[in-house]
Copies of this chain bind each other. A is one copy, B any other.
Amino acid sequence: MSERAQKLEALGFPLDRLPTPAASYRPLVIDGSIGYLSGAIPLDGGQQLAFSGNVPSQLPVAEAQRAAALCAANLLRVLAHELGSLERVERVLRVGGYVSSDPDFTQQHVVINGASELLVAVLGEAGRHARSAMGVAGLPLGASVEVDMIVRIKE
- Listed in ascending order, the chain A residues whose CB lies under 8 Å from chain B are 22-29, 31, 34, 36-39, 54, 91, 93-96, 98, 100-110, 112-113, 116-117, 120, 128-143, 146, 148, 150, 152
A26 CA to B120 CA, complexed, in Å: 12
A112 CA to B106 CA, complexed, in Å: 20
User: Looking across the interface, which residue of chain B has its beta carbon closest to that of A94?
Assistant: B36
Instruction: Give how many copies assemble into the complex.
Output: 3
A67 CA to B93 CA, complexed, in Å: 26
Once the chains bind, are B38 and A137 in contact (CB under 8 Å)?
no
Once the chains bind, are B130 and A28 in contact (CB under 8 Å)?
yes
Residues of B within 8 A of A98 (CB): 132, 134
